[in-house]
Structure 1
Amino acid sequence: MAIKPGRLGVGIIGAGKVGAVLGAALRAAGHAVVGVAAVSEASRDRAELLLPGVPVLEIPDIVERSELVLLAVPDDALPGLVSGLAATGAWQVGQLVAHTSGRYGTGVLAPVKAAGGIPLALHPAMTFTGMSLDLTRLLDCTFGVTADAPMLPIAQALVVEMGAEPVVIAEADRVLYHAALAHSANHLVTLVAQAAQILGEIGVEAPNQVLGPLLRAALENALASGEQALTGPVARGDSGTVAAHTQALREHALDTSATDIVDAYLALSSATAVRAVRRGLLSAEAYLGVQAALGMDDGGAPDAQHPQEPTTEESD
């Protein structure tokens, strides 16, 4: 099967939030979606919404009919799916096979390459709802792309066609890349939920209205200025306030059994102090005061005498 510079017949395996959205984006770019594998009722409904008229087919039929197979399945299911299809001789020479996993590069698609196919890793750095509004989110989205050097332009072109921006990630860096995204986006949701819980418990009727403007401003400032945008009691070295927070959250944990909130506060405050002193935003003395207020056993301020100067790249 020759690689065509024009439109491709695309098969989608996995009509979850990611697969259905990317299938719709490829379809909007002029590619023909020849089939979709959707097992659950929710997946079938999603496929009908975002890929109307596309037949729901069995996985072997999709692979047989497709020039580009998009594997949008959970990370842990990906290796078994790829090797299982290889065992049946399903992969075709010249066939493009792309997965959407952030964790894996193209190594997981080794059976595809062995069969003469072309492995690609295309991971959208975005959280999806599985609704049509996700298509507009792709316009502000980047994809972590990994492929063999001769095939990298193909991966990049597919991402651009979907309206997004490709960023090349080395095979060996895929797990760290994905960890960075999960650490930021997933834990942000947890932090917001924890803060909203506390506000709700003390009688604030609309926690989201209180948190929304603050968090949006903090995120925008952090993206624009990096750690130079850091504010708050840890950055100021206000150990008395940090101690008061710690005590109040410990009491809250005893009252509610919500120990995850105080644990997160302690861990992140300590990490913030470490990064602040290394960037020269916090003195060694203030750093030790903050760690003491947190009840942390710290032998000294890391790099306190030689803090790292912020670079232009880090601050942008």
Structure 2
Amino acid sequence: MLDVGVIGAGRAGVVMAAALADAGHRIVGLSTTSERNRERVEAMLPGVPVSEIPQIVANSSLVVLAVPDEALPVLVDGMSAAGLWRPGQIVMHLAAGYGVGVLSSAVACGVIPIALRPNLVFTGTSIDRQRLRDTTATVTCPAPVLPIAQALAIELGCEPIVIAEEDRAAYAEALGVVTTFSRAVVEQATGILRNIGVENPTAVIASVAKTSVSDALSRGQWPQAPLTADEEDV
């Protein structure tokens, strides 16, 4: 069992804390400055304190950095400059666009670095705990640390997939394409239907969207020749 502290109690941070608690780890605290996030912690993790970063790090054997990608480098370097890290601590971040290089100042203090990102869009609700069990998690870390990273992914319920340090930017781009374009397509389609007077456009396109994505994913799994006209569904 690890003592886990989470820096950032947004949608991803609180779900990761809850999932690690489900796996048998002890959550020592989460940090946030947002009242909304405090309420989220109370709802998802009753009894777990919201604490200051130095206190959380001092009491944790695993520190999860659940902050936006753009905030991660400044946070890590600031914590390193403040001397908060302890040798042997596991430090894991969730930022898709970074590998473990962003943790270099913490590594210089003796921490064990892991980049682990579950491949889903977090809602910050209990539904994510089930979704974690149906998805994969990308992991990037030094080779000797890989068994730890893979074990953490499995404890979350995810299938671990290893991504090389130099490929993290491309991986983040792929996630961004899926997220941005799927939202844009749904918004455009529902807008068209709303303009012609359909009261519940989501109900009209929901099954089409889900089956289209499912079909596209199945085709993306294996290389296939393009369909000819008579093979297309009518």
TM range (shorter): over 0.9
State the one-letter code of the partner of 2:61: E
Partner residue, 2:162: 168
Query: Conserved in 2, the CA contact under 8 Å of 1:72 and 1:101?
Result: yes
Query: Conserved in 2, the CA contact under 8 Å of 1:120 and 1:147?
Result: yes
Partner residue, 1:45: 39
Once the two structures are TM-superposed, the CA of residue 109 in structure 1 deviates from its matched residue by 0.3
Once the two structures are TM-superposed, the CA of residue 227 in structure 1 deviates from its matched residue by 9.6
Q: Distance in 1 between matches of 2:179 and 2:210?
A: 14
Partner residue, 1:207: 201
Once the two structures are TM-superposed, the CA of residue 50 in structure 1 deviates from its matched residue by 1.3
Once the two structures are TM-superposed, the CA of residue 163 in structure 1 deviates from its matched residue by 1.0
Match 1:67 to one of 45, 49, 61 = 61
Partner residue, 1:216: 210
Q: Distance in 2 between matches of 1:20 and 1:41?
A: 14
Going from structure 1 to structure 2, the CA distance change for 1:228 and 1:136 (only over 3 Å counts) comes to closer
Structural mapping, 1:281-292, within 5 Å: none
Once the two structures are TM-superposed, the CA of residue 225 in structure 1 deviates from its matched residue by 2.4
Q: Distance in 1 between matches of 2:221 and 2:189?
A: 21
Once the two structures are TM-superposed, the CA of residue 100 in structure 1 deviates from its matched residue by 0.5
Query: Conserved in 2, the CA contact under 8 Å of 1:222 and 1:229?
Result: no
TM-score when scaled to structure 2? Answer: 0.93
Aligned-partner SS, 2:115: strand
Match 1:149 to one of 127, 132, 143 = 143
Deviations 1:127-146 (A, max 9, x none): 11111111011111111100
> Larger relative CO (CA 8 A, sep 6+): 1 or 2?
2
Partner residue, 2:97: 103
Once the two structures are TM-superposed, the CA of residue 229 in structure 1 deviates from its matched residue by 11
Going from structure 1 to structure 2, the CA distance change for 1:227 and 1:24 (only over 3 Å counts) comes to closer
State the one-letter code of the partner of 1:69: V
Query: Conserved in 2, the CA contact under 8 Å of 1:11 and 1:65?
Result: yes
Partner residue, 2:108: 114
User: Is 1:189 matched up with 2:183?
Assistant: yes
Q: Distance in 1 between matches of 2:83 and 2:211?
A: 53
State the one-letter code of the partner of 1:213: S
Q: Which moved more, 1:66-75 or 1:212-221?
A: 212-221
Kindly indicate which of the two structures has a greater share of residues assigned to helix. 1
Moved over 4 A (4+): 227-230, 279-283
Query: Conserved in 2, the CA contact under 8 Å of 1:38 and 1:47?
Result: no
Once the two structures are TM-superposed, the CA of residue 71 in structure 1 deviates from its matched residue by 0.2
Aligned-partner SS, 1:91: coil
Partner residue, 1:24: 18
Partner residue, 1:300: none
Once the two structures are TM-superposed, the CA of residue 185 in structure 1 deviates from its matched residue by 2.3
Q: Distance in 1 between matches of 2:145 and 2:223?
A: 40
Match 1:54 to one of 42, 45, 48 = 48
Match 1:159 to one of 128, 153, 164 = 153
Q: Distance in 1 between matches of 2:56 and 2:71?
A: 18
Gaps (5+ residues) in structure 1? 1-6, 231-278, 284-316
State the one-letter code of the partner of 1:26: L
Query: Conserved in 2, the CA contact under 8 Å of 1:221 and 1:229?
Result: no
User: Is 1:11 matched up with 2:22?
Assistant: no
Query: Conserved in 2, the CA contact under 8 Å of 1:97 and 1:118?
Result: yes
TM-score when scaled to structure 1? Answer: 0.69
Identity of aligned residues (%): 50
Match 1:83 to one of 77, 82, 90 = 77
Tell which structure's C-alpha radius of gyration is larger: 1
Deviations 1:119-170 (A, max 9, x none): 1001111011111111011111111100000001101101101111111000
Aligned-partner SS, 1:56: coil
Q: Distance in 2 between matches of 1:164 and 1:175?
A: 21
Once the two structures are TM-superposed, the CA of residue 25 in structure 1 deviates from its matched residue by 0.5
Partner residue, 2:232: none
Going from structure 1 to structure 2, the CA distance change for 1:11 and 1:203 (only over 3 Å counts) comes to same
Going from structure 1 to structure 2, the CA distance change for 1:173 and 1:228 (only over 3 Å counts) comes to closer
Aligned length: 229
